[in-house]
Amino acid sequence: MQYKKIVMYKLAVALFFYTSAHAQIQDDTLVHLKDAVLLGQDRAPLLISIKYESDAAVQNINVAKYNTRVPTIDATYQAGLSTANNLTGIFYPYGILPMSGPPSSGNNYSPATGSAASILLNWQAVTFGQKEAQINVSTAEANSKKSELEQALFQHKINIISAYLDLLLAYDVVAIHTHNLERVQANLKQSRVLSNTGIKPGVDTALFLSELSKASVDLLNAQKQLQVYQLLLQQLIVTKNLPVPVDTAFLGQLPVAGISNDTSFSNVPVIKLGQSQVLLSESKERLLKKSYLPKLSVWGTGFARGSGFQSGNNSDDIKTWDGLQLSRFNYGAGVQLAFPIMKYGEVKRQLQQQQFITKAAKEKIEDSKLALTTQQNIANTTFNSSLAIATQTQQQLKTGQYAFKAMQTRYNTGLANFPDLIQAQYNLLKAELDVKTSYWDAWKALLLQAVVKGDEHIFLNEIK
């Protein structure tokens, strides 16, 4: 009865693995690391969105050039119905419609129509540098958006490479736990033989069944983690199928790229982004300094009026609907020099505010350099430690393999007990995982070094 339970358990586990593998193969797609990077940078919606924003910022330069160099020409026509009661005098025109014409002798509420049409040209011919400053701000905004796109693109590439590494390690972990499950199954089979012959007690078979369950759970967890990393990489490269990495061999060897301690970081996208933001803020400062300078404008107009009030406001002189026809025609031209006398105080305070923003942007660059220096030191330490650890784990693996085989032989001959064999098996499993992790750590350190240098090719060029 116990034997049937064991067989049914093994069949259920095998069926689960086969079903999962079969379903996965149907949905998987093979992908090289460099191809994954290209797919991600071409398909990621966030990158496409930032690219559109960058294109819009470039187009805004043309808008600024057009608005500051081309005069405005407005053509208008209006018609209305109103009375003509009027007084001579000055008033503040805010919220009040202005009225033309001589004062009326009294109030006459008989309305008449009126009309007006004009063409008005207005051109700010001389702005003492304000036009150029506005164009420079638009250019700095476009450069800042371009730097933001470069930073987002670089970070997305790094995320893809990192996810690819995680997925490779997950595959190795699944393979290790699969082999461990096979070892437990072999030991279970042998313990049953030894129990039937009386060499080992029957309780060993029950203990091996427990170990088989533990090994199966470890394998299931490893497979779950593998699928999670597949889904994460799938999101980054924007593909419908689950990605399966093709470049698997390089994780089985250590990278050999040299690591320098250059702290200039001039080509790192995050530093270039910070510098572009400083330039943008400084260009806004220059625009503010120009904003309280005078403006010399040239204007010209041709206009006409029509009115139903022919003369005075006598009811006999009111031609109600004649005002819709234009009856008086005029033209005019001139220049205007406007100086915002009270603008200086406002601009002074705005300039102080913008200067603080510039200082903040500069400090952000220093903070980014400090973070990059720390990351570089971490990368160096991790890389060197991984090389040393890899050497030790290789020796640990050889020792673990030898110890397990020796202990398995001793157990099969009745010279070792169950705890000794299980301990040797655990040591071997840990050694196998440690070897893969140490290699993975070395490649992760190299990737971090690529982040510090702002160049993903430092990592990609190591892929053989």
pLDDT at 305: 86
Rounded Cα–Cα distance for residues 209 and 30 (Å): 37
- pLDDT score for 7: 40
What are the φ and ψ backbone dihedral angles of 292, each rounded to 5 degrees?
A: -100, 10
In whole angstroms, what is the distance from residue 88 CA to residue 86 CA?
7
Residue 199 tokens, joined: 């060499």
**pLDDT at site 23:** 42
- The per-residue pLDDT for 22 is 40
Whole-number pLDDT of residue 1: 41
Q: 332 phi and psi, to 5 degrees?
A: -165, 160
CA distances from 278 to 131, 149, 154, 256, 357 (A): 21, 17, 21, 38, 9
- What Cα–Cα distance (Å) separates residue 5 from each residue in 2, 13, 174, 300? 5, 12, 26, 101
Dmax (CA) of the chain: 136
CA dist., res. 272 & res. 361, Å (int)? 12
Give the span between the Cα atoms of 360 and 277, in whole angstroms.
10
pLDDT of residue 260: 66
Query: What are the 10-residue block averages of pLDDT along the chain, 464 residues in total?
Result: 43 43 53 93 94 95 86 89 81 76 79 87 85 92 95 96 96 95 87 74 80 93 96 94 92 78 83 94 92 88 84 63 84 88 88 95 94 91 89 92 90 84 92 94 92 91 83
From 290, 294, 283, select the one nearest 354 (Cα to Cα). 283
The secondary structure of the chain, three-state, reads: CHHHHHHHHHHHHHHHHHHHHHHHHHHEEEECHHHHHHHHHHHCHHHHHHHHHHHHHHHHHHHHHHHHHCCEEEEEEEEEEECCCCCCCCCCCCCCCCCCCCCCCCCCCCCEEEEEEEEEEEEEEECCCHHHHHHHHHHHHHHHHHHHHHHHHHHHHHHHHHHHHHHHHHHHHHHHHHHHHHHHHHHHHHHHHHHHHCCCCCHHHHHHHHHHHHHHHHHHHHHHHHHHHHHHHHHHHCCCCEEEECCCHHHHCCCCCCCCCCCCCCCCHHHHHHHHHHHHHHHHHHHHHHHCCCEEEEEEEEEEEEECECCCCCHHHECCCHHHCCCEEEEEEEEEEECCCCHHHHHHHHHHHHHHHHHHHHHHHHHHHHHHHHHHHHHHHHHHHHHHHHHHHHHHHHHHHHHHHHHHHHHHCCCCCHHHHHHHHHHHHHHHHHHHHHHHHHHHHHHHHHHHHCCCHHHHCCCC
Q: Burial, 296: exposed, middle or buried (Cβ in 10 Å; 0-12, 13-18, 19+)?
A: middle
Domain residue ranges of the chain, discontinuous segments joined by +:
29-80+111-460
pLDDT score at 318: 79
In degrees rounded to 5, what are phi and psi of residue 19? -65, -45
Q: What is the CA radius of gyration of the chain?
A: 40
* Candidate CATH numbers 1.20.1600.10, 3.40.190.10, 1.10.10.10, 1.20.910.10; the one for domain 29-80+111-460: 1.20.1600.10
Nearest in space to 390 (alpha carbons), one of 256, 277, 272: 256
Nearest residue to 400 (alpha-carbon basis) of 376, 377, 425: 425
Q: What is the pLDDT of residue 91?
A: 73
**Rounded CA separation 163/23 (Å):** 22
How far CA 464 is from CA of 172, 255, 354, 384, in Å, comes to: 19, 10, 50, 21
pLDDT of residue 456: 92
